[in-house]
Chains A and B, each alone.
Chain A
Amino acid sequence: MPLNAKTWLKEINSLTLPDKVKIMNVCGGHERSITQAGLRSVLPKSVHLIPGPGCPVCVCPEEDIYEAIQLALKESVTLVAFGDMLRVPVNLPRHEIRSLEQARSASADIRPIASPTEAVLIAKNNKEKPVVFFAAGFETTILPVASMLAEGVPDNLFVLMSGRLTWPAVAMLLESGEPGFDALVAPGHVSTVMGPEEWTFVAEKHHIPTAVAGFSSTSLLAAFYSTLRQLIEKKYFLDNCYPEVVHKGGNPTGKQYLENVLKVVDANWRGVGIIPNSGFALKEKYASHDARVRFPSYADNSRQRIGEMPAGCDCAKVVLGKIYPNECKLFGKTCTPREPIGPCMVSDEGACRIWWANRQRH
């Protein structure tokens, strides 16, 4: 008999659990579903749900946002980006232009988009002006960007690629010797496009219980149950608790385009540092659409705190699951969604913003 959320919860409660189990999620959507449904308060006290590296906006390199701002201000271009990126501040003194939103107020041509197809349309309708698409995101977002390029785009469209892969961040945590979690809920929509197999290494190599989950309470509770039982029975495998859309191999068409258009490179994560093989870059055959080739680099090495989180902001620790959002001294005090200090309070997928919006206190 397939179980519903209530019965999964009963099943979880019937398990004999260790004193403390930390289950990490690596997806802002998971964190939002968990927090909105209040799952923390219904689970046994020993189960701790930790938000980890699940917010692409939060880890988007500070120097890439700086580059996007400078391109928009100094080159005669239209800059398009997913809406979340516009408010993320870079590390500059207060009187300078610190975000794409401020650059837009200073009359740079910056437009928020919700889909790569909008970027194509804007480029088509303004043939005489270069359009720079600042593309940040995880695999779920980057496959559509690669597909857009593969399908063919106007000559005046250039991509400032800033995409990241999720699993290398988890691998980095596991290899650090202090992962800070006992079980993993693997991301639902990253697994939908890339295939769940990407996550088998967590269970098989590191003996950490792992389950892919969707976004309903039923699927999330099934994943919690699965990982807890794996832990108790010491049988570690990758469970798929989101079989509606997570199929073996993921999306073969999208993965093929990804392979054709992009290469995987070592990449910087804001406040975290370089993680091997964790970023995307355009392949040489797409150089004619690569903003990093077409435009000069505005990197300014004299800037303070390049690549870091803003001063006083603990986002890097939040992103790595080392602390809960409300353990940051600024949470809800000087840092709120209205006046965010760090990216975790800006993005809809940032743990700080999700916790603040839902009044979550651990």
Chain B
Amino acid sequence: MCLGIPMQIKEINGYNARCEAKGVEREVSLFMMQHESLEIGDYVLVHVGYAIQKIMPQDYHSTWELYDEVLEGEKSERV
């Protein structure tokens, strides 16, 4: 029940949007997204018919990656 689905915004109409995922289109409420400026083409995470967050592509998946990179960097600086 807590699973969200990433969908792409195709059309915005006030608090309603038409979103698409894997060829399927759905009406999605943007009522919970008033803090965010959304545009057509943006991806949102949709749960029980509501967009609950904008999806931001990110590179890193653990703080340890950055931590190790910094350590690596420090080591090579010292050499």
Contacts and interface: CB of A to CB of B under 8 A. Distances in A.
Contacts of B53: 192-193, 245, 247, 251
B77 interface: no
A226 B63 contact: yes
A65 B35 CA distance: 35
Given A114-B49, A117-B27, A245-B56, A143 B32 contact: yes
Contact of A3 (B2, B4, B35, B65): B65
Nearest to B58: A243
Contacts of A218: 61
Given A239-B62, A239-B63, A243-B58, A193 B52 contact: yes
A337 to B, nearest CB: 16
A137 B63 contact: no
Contact of A137 (B2, B29, B49): B2
B13 to A, nearest CB: 14
B24 interface: no
Nearest to A240: B63
Interface residues of B, number: 31
B73 interface: no
B1 interface: yes
Secondary structure dominating the interface of B: loop
A279 to B, nearest CB: 16
B11 to A, nearest CB: 16
A50 to B, nearest CB: 18
- How large, as a class, is the contact surface on chain A? 35 or more
Interface string A240-266: 111111010001111001000000000
B35 A226 contact: no
Nearest to B30: A253
Interface string A106-120: 000000001111100
B1 A115 contact: no
15 contacts: A2-B65, A29-B2, A116-B48, A116-B50, A117-B27, A117-B29, A118-B49, A144-B48, A147-B29, A189-B45, A222-B61, A222-B62, A225-B64, A251-B53, A252-B35
Closest 9 CB pairs of A and B: A115-B49, A222-B61, A144-B50, A243-B58, A254-B32, A140-B2, A29-B3, A245-B53, A2-B59
